[in-house]
Amino acid sequence: MEASSASRFRRTWILYAMLLPGIGFALVFNYMPMLGLVMAFQDYQPYQGFTGSAWVGWKHFEQIFTDPFAPKVIGNTVIISGLKIIFNLLVPLVFALLLNELRHMKVKSTIQTLVYLPHFLSWVILSGILLDVLSIHGIVNEILNSLFGVSPIMFLGDGDWFRVSVVASDVWKEFGFNTIVFLAALTAVNPALYEASEIDGANRWKQTLHVTIPAIMPIVVVVATLSLSSILNGSFDQIFNLYSPIVYDKGDIIDTFVYRTALQSGQFSFATAVGMFKSVVGLLFIAVFYRIAYVYADYRIF
């Protein structure tokens, strides 16, 4: 047995060697920074370091629930992330169903490519575009004013409109990429089901309702349940590049709050506690929703 294992390793060692860069990357950027979590239990002072800073136990975690702004930040994160999850599920699903009805393959592939392109643009680039487009004198307000007589709207300067703008821009950026998942599921639907329903007199709308949607429902359940695990991720890149102090009340999320608290206010321990709280809750969500996906859609990683 040992000889067999040794000979197999000699044949496949190059494959293990190819894993080393990835393992090293994970160790350096994912696991080594976790040593800094001790700051959540200390009154951390940079000039004293980990060893010299005083231990305060659960003080900073208790502060999360007593700080007047922390619960509001958590609420903003859940609302913004929840809306993103809902619309990033519904819009790609509907678009995939509509795109699936096209019979001209060149037109279909062209549309799919065009809506897929924004996914590759960073939020640094897109935020610069959105700041101009959605400004008081931007093209969107100009169109609304000239066609409908609507007064200029502060899309990124009003808390409620900020949430709408954030969710809409995120859906616009990502729905083309998410559509691919549902298009792949649609290709697996048995064509015989459509033929049988057509013989029974079902039109395309009824075929969609009674054949297509039930057939892809398992993948919809998987995508929905697994996306719920990111309920506390509001997309730091997007929010950070679009928000301003006047929308903190309804636009500030956990990640931006941690950034400001740690790097701008110097409250490293409290910011670490908030980030650790988010990570623990997120881990619990992942475990729960993975179990739901396994029970209701028979989805498993291993």
Can you give 54-103 as a three-state secondary structure string?
Answer: EECCCHHHHHHHHCCCHHHHHHHHHHHHHHHHHHHHHHHHHHHHHHHCCC
- Residue 231, token pair as written in the block: 């309920």
pLDDT of residue 173: 92
Residue 229, C-beta contacts closer than 8 angstroms, at least 6 positions apart = 282, 285, 286, 289, 290
Per-residue pLDDT for 171 more than 80? yes
**124 neighbors 237 (Cβ within 8 angstroms):** yes
Average the pLDDT over 116-140 and give the result.
89
Q: What angle do CA 256, 263, 258 make, to 5 degrees?
A: 30
DSSP class of 115: H
Could you identify the residue written with the tokens 């060149």? Answer: 106
- Residue span(s) of the chain under CATH 1.10.3720.10 come to 61-297
pLDDT of residue 302: 60
pLDDT of residue 84: 92
Task: Indicate the CATH number for domain 61-297.
Answer: 1.10.3720.10
CA–CA distance, 160 with 69 (Å, rounded to integer):
18
Confidence of residue 4 (pLDDT cuts 50, 70, 90): low
Residue type at 230 in one-letter notation: S
Average the pLDDT over 82-96 and give the result.
91
Average the pLDDT over 98-112 and give the result.
85
Confidence of residue 3 (pLDDT cuts 50, 70, 90): low
Per-residue pLDDT for 1 more than 70? no
CA–CA distance, 252 with 234 (Å, rounded to integer):
9
Residue 150, C-beta contacts closer than 8 angstroms, at least 6 positions apart = 141, 144
pLDDT of residue 107: 86
Average the pLDDT over 156-168 and give the result.
91
pLDDT of residue 301: 64
CA–CA distance, 192 with 196 (Å, rounded to integer):
6
Determine how many CB atoms are found less than 10 A away from the CB of residue 87: 16
**Could you tell me which of 77, 296, 104 has the C-alpha nearest to residue 166?**
77
Q: Left (φ > 0), alpha (ψ -120 to 50) or beta: where does 111 sit?
A: alpha
Q: Left (φ > 0), alpha (ψ -120 to 50) or beta: where does 21 sit?
A: alpha
List helix spans (H) across the chain. 2-26, 49-52, 59-66, 70-100, 105-116, 123-133, 139-148, 159-187, 191-199, 204-207, 213-227, 236-242, 248-251, 254-259, 268-297
Q: What is the per-residue pLDDT across 28-74, written as a single tens digit (0 to 9) for each?
A: 998 998 888 899 999 888 888 888 888 998 888 888 888 788 788 88
Confidence of residue 27 (pLDDT cuts 50, 70, 90): very high
Q: When comparing pLDDT for 136 and 7, which is higher?
A: 136
Q: What is the per-residue pLDDT across 252-291, written as a single tens digit (0 to 9) for each?
A: 998 898 888 888 888 889 889 988 888 888 888 888 887 8
pLDDT of residue 63: 85
Residue 180, C-beta contacts closer than 8 angstroms, at least 6 positions apart = 112, 116
Phi, psi for 160 (deg, rounded to 5) = -65, -45
